């Protein structure tokens, strides 16, 4: 057995940056080669490197969704365990597994994960894995976001880990099964090839890195990265008073039963670990706002990444973060509970609860709540001009929370990622729609010494054909939480205009199968961020500037800040 070398700081930094670069190149390849705007333009994807023994995270692309940081660790670990037990076929060089089963370390069905073993001298050195959001995975509604689903089968096709590529060749029989169960399947092959190509690029770049520095040295660096990340996270945890710190966040409804769901959280530091106790959260729900365990844990991890961004991304950073109290709640869903809203919505309520608890302990490091919804809007139908079916998936930004030093950012990406809304021009080119409005949601930022950022106000009109619209959003009942005396951000608002009549969904932020005809419109106003600190202490010059730019009306300013 080779001797593990001493790793000097320069070698550590260079190899660590090299591993990061491998993941960044996978991210870039995936987006550049993908067909779907949600991946090619919105970057709703992620790539990473994972340990051969247990799937532990080694490195992840800097431009990937933070919520996938933990998710792919859990899904890779599941694949390894199933191979070891014989449930899944053992890998050979050139094999790529596909899996989207939420209950096997996943999110929702639309997030499809590929995993490829990376071979070195006849053994698996590590795994390369990525996740991409497919615009459709079958199920009851175009886009997969069935707001009133009551079982997993209504949400789409569920895939256990199977080899989509065998010895480098795509298995046509498995692909035929997949494409026979999803809409606009002829377009998905472009995303499949892009996703596989990203892994192949990663394998080539990782091989070059190993050739340059040696397998033993790189393996030693990986071990040191994990140890240092754990040590750095523990050092950050030491800054937190013992607590306990309590917080609650709420989901509007589950889409079926029109009552809120509660996320109850207590955070407490004990020795060098941080404990997150979700005891008292709501029971499993009937609709799709359940969260699987992997998503719940990853939501805690990503919240801590927001608070302590300087801690390197590695499995070691998660070791001191201990989660309990989710068993028997809607935060630990099991088959057949529907889960389409878990990654895009519930995950952000979990992060919001973490922020609300820890802003009490670290007021200089933690912000008021951000908008906290991805604004999932699916539209599917037939375009008579192009003589083809289409499925459009729109995500949207919102306001960030104010913090100790400044106002929140307006129209920022969601808490769980770096995904941005696809450009209006790309959407209009690909789908039979017209954007009638695309502006800031004025007045939506929560008042505070530092106000929240503003959400987005957009309106889409269907130009031709007919289509069905579905929404899985949140914060339509309560706004993003203000902090330390700051006000909550404005609510998410959805309005559908059909035949000149304006309709607001019963569940405010969730609905499905709304039939649209040419001329019908959908308007969405996303939430603003929560305010930070006492609004009466806001700088009068900042209030005047917001008034000058029309961000608040004089009446709003008088009510919120006591000045006009």
Q: Would you write out the chain's pLDDT as a tens digit for each of its 564 residues?
A: 566 678 899 999 999 999 999 999 999 999 999 999 889 988 889 999 999 999 999 999 888 887 886 789 999 999 999 999 999 999 999 999 999 999 999 999 999 999 999 999 999 999 999 999 999 999 999 888 899 999 999 999 999 999 999 999 999 999 999 999 999 888 889 999 999 999 999 999 999 999 999 999 999 999 999 999 999 999 999 999 998 999 999 999 999 999 999 999 999 999 999 999 999 999 999 999 999 999 999 999 999 999 999 998 899 999 999 999 999 999 999 999 999 999 889 999 999 999 999 999 999 999 999 999 999 999 999 999 999 999 999 999 899 999 999 999 999 988 887 777 889 999 999 999 999 999 999 999 999 999 999 999 999 999 999 999 999 999 999 999 999 999 999 999 999 999 999 999 999 999 999 999 999 999 999 999 999 999 999 999 999 999 999 999 888 888 878 765
Specify which residues 457 forms β-bridges with.
Answer: 439, 525
* Predicted pLDDT at 563: 61
Query: What number of residues does the chain have?
Result: 564
DSSP, collapsed to helix, strand or coil, labels residue 115 as strand
- In angstroms, how far is CA 230 from the centroid of its own chain? 24
* Predicted pLDDT at 124: 98
* Predicted pLDDT at 416: 81
Q: Among 530, 399, 372, which residue's Cα sits nearest to residue 453? A: 399
DSSP, collapsed to helix, strand or coil, labels residue 236 as helix
Q: Are 276 and 87 in contact (CB under 8 A)?
A: no
E strands present in 309-432:
321-324, 376-383, 388-394
Specify which residues 514 forms β-bridges with.
Answer: 469
Kind and range of the H or E run holding 496:
strand 493-498
Specify which residues 392 forms β-bridges with.
Answer: 379
Q: What is the Cα–Cα distance from 341 to 255, expressed in whole angstroms?
A: 10
Where do the H-state alpha helices sit in 382-477? Answer: 424-430
Q: Are 67 and 417 in contact (CB under 8 A)?
A: yes
Q: What is the Cα–Cα distance from 268 to 274, expressed in whole angstroms?
A: 6
**Is residue 216 packed enough to be buried (19+ CB in 10 Å), middle (13-18) or exposed (0-12)?**
middle
Q: What is the Cα–Cα distance from 489 to 374, expressed in whole angstroms?
A: 16
Q: Cis (ω within 30 of 0) for the bond into 244?
A: yes
Question: Which residues in 345-363 are b (16+ Cβ under 10 Å) and which e?
Answer: bbbbbbbbbbbbbbbbbbe
Q: Are 39 and 3 in contact (CB under 8 A)?
A: no
Q: What is the Cα–Cα distance from 414 to 395, expressed in whole angstroms?
A: 9
Q: Are 118 and 97 in contact (CB under 8 A)?
A: no
**Is residue 472 packed enough to be buried (19+ CB in 10 Å), middle (13-18) or exposed (0-12)?**
buried
* Predicted pLDDT at 564: 54
Cα 418–420–424 angle (5° rounding)? 170
Structure tokens at 297: 């844990």
Question: In terms of DSSP bridges, do strands 521-525 and 321-324 run parallel, antiparallel, or are they unpaired?
Answer: unpaired
Q: Give Cβ neighbours of residue 532 (< 8 Å, ≥ 6 apart).
A: 367, 368, 401, 402, 403, 404, 408, 448, 449, 450, 451, 452, 482, 483, 484, 486
Q: What is the Cα–Cα distance from 7 to 220, expressed in whole angstroms?
A: 7
Dihedral over alpha carbons 244, 249, 254, 255 (to 10 degrees): 180
3-state helix, strand, coil in the chain (%, to 5): 30, 25, 45
* Predicted pLDDT at 3: 66
**How would you list the strands of the sheet with 261-270, edge to edge?**
245-251, 261-270, 273-277, 321-324
* Predicted pLDDT at 2: 60
Kind and range of the H or E run holding 488:
none
DSSP, collapsed to helix, strand or coil, labels residue 164 as strand
Q: What is the Cα–Cα distance from 59 to 47, expressed in whole angstroms?
A: 9
Kind and range of the H or E run holding 516:
strand 510-516
**Is residue 388 packed enough to be buried (19+ CB in 10 Å), middle (13-18) or exposed (0-12)?**
exposed
Other beta carbons within 10 Å of 47? 31
* Predicted pLDDT at 408: 96
**Is residue 312 packed enough to be buried (19+ CB in 10 Å), middle (13-18) or exposed (0-12)?**
middle
DSSP, collapsed to helix, strand or coil, labels residue 197 as helix
E strands present in 364-415:
376-383, 388-394
Q: What is the Cα–Cα distance from 250 to 51, expressed in whole angstroms?
A: 36
Quick one: three-class SS letters along 15-65?
A: HHHHHHHHHHHHHHHHHHHCCCHHHHCCCCEEEEEEECCCCCEEEECCCCC
Specify which residues 119 forms β-bridges with.
Answer: 124
Q: What is the Cα–Cα distance from 552 to 11, expressed in whole angstroms?
A: 53
Other beta carbons within 10 Å of 465? 17
- In angstroms, how far is CA 329 from the centroid of its own chain? 21
Where do the H-state alpha helices sit in 214-329? Answer: 215-237, 293-307, 315-318
Q: What is the Cα–Cα distance from 381 to 377, expressed in whole angstroms?
A: 14
């Amino acid at each position: 057995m080779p001797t593990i070398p001493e790793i000097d700081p320069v070698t550590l930094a260079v190899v660590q940056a090299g591993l990061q670069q491998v993941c960044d190149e996978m991210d870039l390849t995936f987006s550049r080669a993908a067909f779907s705007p949600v991946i090619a333009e919105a970057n709703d994807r992620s790539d990473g490197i994972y340990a051969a023994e247990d799937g532990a995270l080694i490195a992840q692309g800097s431009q990937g969704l933070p919520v996938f940081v933990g998710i792919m660790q859990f899904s890779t670990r599941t694949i390894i365990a199933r191979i070891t037990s014989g449930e899944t076929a053992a890998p050979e060089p050139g094999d790529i597994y596909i899996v989207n089963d939420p209950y096997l370390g996943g999110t929702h069905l639309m997030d499809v994960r590929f995993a490829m073993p990376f071979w070195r001298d006849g053994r698996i050195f590590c795994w390369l894995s990525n996740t991409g959001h497919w615009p459709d995975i079958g199920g009851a509604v175009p886009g997969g976001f069935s707001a009133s689903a009551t079982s997993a089968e209504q949400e789409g096709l569920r895939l256990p880990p199977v080899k989509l590529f065998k010895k480098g060749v795509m298995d046509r029989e498995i692909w035929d099964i997949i494409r026979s169960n999803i809409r606009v399947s002829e377009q998905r092959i472009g995303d499949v090839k892009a996703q596989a190509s990203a892994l192949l690029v990663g394998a080539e770049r990782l091989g070059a890195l190993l050739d340059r520095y040696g397998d033993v040295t790189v393996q030693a660096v990986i071990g040191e990265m994990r140890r240092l990340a754990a040590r750095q996270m523990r050092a950050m945890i030491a800054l937190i008073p013992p607590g306990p710190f309590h917080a609650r966040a709420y989901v509007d409804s589950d889409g079926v039963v029109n009552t809120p769901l509660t996320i109850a959280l207590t955070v407490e530091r004990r020795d060098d670990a941080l404990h997150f106790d979700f005891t008292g959260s709501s029971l499993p729900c009937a609709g799709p706002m359940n969260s699987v365990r992997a998503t719940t844990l990853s939501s805690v991890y990503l919240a801590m990444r927001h608070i302590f961004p300087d801690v390197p991304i590695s499995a070691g950073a998660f070791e001191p973060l201990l989660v309990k109290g989710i068993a028997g709640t809607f935060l630990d869903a099991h088959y057949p509970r529907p889960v389409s809203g878990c990654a895009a919505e519930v995950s952000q309520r979990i992060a919001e609860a973490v922020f609300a608890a820890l802003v009490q302990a670290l007021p200089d490091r933690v912000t008021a709540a951000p908008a906290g919804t991805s604004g999932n809007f699916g539209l599917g139908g037939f375009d008579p001009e192009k003589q083809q079916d289409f499925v459009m998936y729109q995500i949207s930004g919102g306001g960030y929370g104010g913090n100790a030093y400044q106002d929140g950012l307006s129209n920022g990406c969601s808490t769980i990622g770096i995904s941005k809304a696809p450009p209006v021009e790309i959407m209009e080119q690909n789908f039979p729609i017209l954007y009638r409005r695309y502006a800031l949601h004025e007045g939506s930022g929560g008042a505070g010494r530092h106000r929240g950022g503003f959400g987005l106000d957009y309106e889409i009109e269907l130009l031709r054909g007919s289509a069905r619209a579905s929404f899985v959003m949140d914060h339509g009942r309560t706004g993003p939480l203000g902090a330390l005396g700051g006000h909550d951000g404005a609510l998410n608002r959805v309005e559908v205009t059909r035949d000149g009549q304006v309709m607001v969904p019963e569940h405010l932020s969730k609905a499905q199968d709304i039939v649209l005809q040419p001329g019908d419109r959908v308007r969405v106003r996303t939430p603003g961020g929560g305010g930070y600190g006492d609004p009466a202490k806001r700088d009068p010059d900042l209030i005047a500037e917001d008034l000058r730019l029309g961000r608040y009306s004089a009446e709003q300013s008088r009510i919120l800040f006591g000045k006009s």
